Amino acid sequence: MIFEQIASGGCQSYLLGCEETRGAVLIDPEFSQIDRYRGLLGQHGLRARYVVDTHTHADHFSASRELGRTLEAPVVMHRASAAPFADMRLDDGDLLIAGALKLKALHTPGHTRDSMCLVMDDRVFTGDTLLIGGTGRTDLPTGDPHALYESLFERLLKLEPSLLVFPAHDYKGRSHSTIGAEVADNPRLQKKERAEFVQMMKSLDLSAPTHLTEALRTNMSGGKTVDQLLAEAAARTPFMSMAELRTRIGGNSGDVVVVDVREKDAFEAGRIPGARHIPRGQLELRVDGELPDPTARIVTCCEFGKISTLAAATLRQLGYTRAAALDGGLKAWRAAGYEVER
């Protein structure tokens, strides 16, 4: 078997490949690593047969939908998942087969209602049901400490002690553990009575993960993250460095139209010399009046360089084929000591 473990931040995702058929299964792919998964598939000469999410993630952005679409592989989740883009829904005991790879779904609700573990001959992908030295939390939407107790003590921990445990998260750089080692050492698994375990889970008092709302919104709907919108806009927009723009607005060259897309107060407080003002919110409505020449060389700017990227991409879509965005924003412009007009 070809096996790759991909860590990004605390997220762990996995690429499994069959050496015979070259079919592959991706488990819990994370959005920022999309190019890496595609690169690894190519490097190993593999074709993705399935993209699996072990559960609806609340703390990071799943790449399953995007990879499923672009790699033409079904997105696989448990039957209880709310995600409308899941192409194949598994029941407890179902087997996912890709060449010599056989993964059995074990429904293990608790961290979320749709959590499942994937069991192979020598290993189990535990999602957030069982982590190394920990368990998934049960205080987020659809979490249930009673269900987690049953999933752990009545199912997962009864598997072979030698089975390797590969979790969906590890924040300390560890790659795997075993069922036996977790039963022996995992502090949370020392509460072996249901009431004790549930009480412990209820009293953890964890802070909400960053991006909780955005992660649930996108992972449950298949919608886009803000970073994804920005990345897509950036991919179809050239940029101009601050130093380059500065030389082009100096003197009488005047070949660049600087469009400041911030709100009025910010524009009036200080702008790039000669900049024109069209707030992002009014761009489409005012663009014909403000920028009658679609062949003009336009550079958009904002405070941090993000909204200006969206604006430049919009201008390009509207036919301003020379629109670019400033690489940086007014904050960096001021910090560089460049001239500001009031």
- The residues that touch Fe ion, with contacts defined as CB under 5 A, are 57, 128
Nearest to Fe ion of 220, 307 (CB atom) = 220
- In the complex, the smallest distance separating the C-beta of residue 250 from Fe ion, rounded to whole angstroms, is 53
**Residue 100 CB neighbour total at 10 angstroms:** 13
**99 vs 110, which CB is nearer to Fe ion?**
110
Cβ at position 125, least distance to Fe ion in Å: 13
Q: Which is nearer to Fe ion, 141 or 274 (CB)?
A: 141
Is the separation of the CB atoms in 260 and 333 below 8 Å?
no
In whole angstroms, how far apart are CA 141 and each of 60, 105, 111, 113, 122?
Answer: 15, 22, 9, 9, 32
Nearest distance, CB of residue 115 and Fe ion, angstroms: 8
Distances 112 to 57, 192, 208, 220, 304 between C-alpha atoms, Å: 9, 21, 15, 13, 37
Q: How far is the CB of 136 from Fe ion (least distance, A)?
A: 6
Count CB neighbours of 116 within 10 A. Answer: 32
Rounded Cα distance, 208 and 185, in Å: 26
Compare residues 128 and 260 and give the one whose CB is closer to Fe ion: 128
Torsion angle of C-alpha atoms 34, 39, 44, 46, degrees rounded to 10: 50
Q: 30 in helix, strand or coil?
A: strand
Q: Provide, rounded to whole angstroms, the least separation between the CB of residue 237 and Fe ion.
A: 34
Spatial contact of 262 and 302, defined as CB atoms under 8 Å apart: yes
First and final C-alpha spacing in the chain: 65
Smallest gap from residue 322 Cβ to Fe ion (A): 45
Nearer to Fe ion, 128 or 182 (CB): 128
Q: How far is the CB of 209 from Fe ion (least distance, A)?
A: 9
Cβ-based nearer residue to Fe ion, 77 or 272: 77
Residue nearest to Fe ion (CB): 128
Query: Are the CB atoms for 118 and 54 separated by under 8 Å?
Result: yes
Closer CB to Fe ion, residue 74 or residue 134? 134
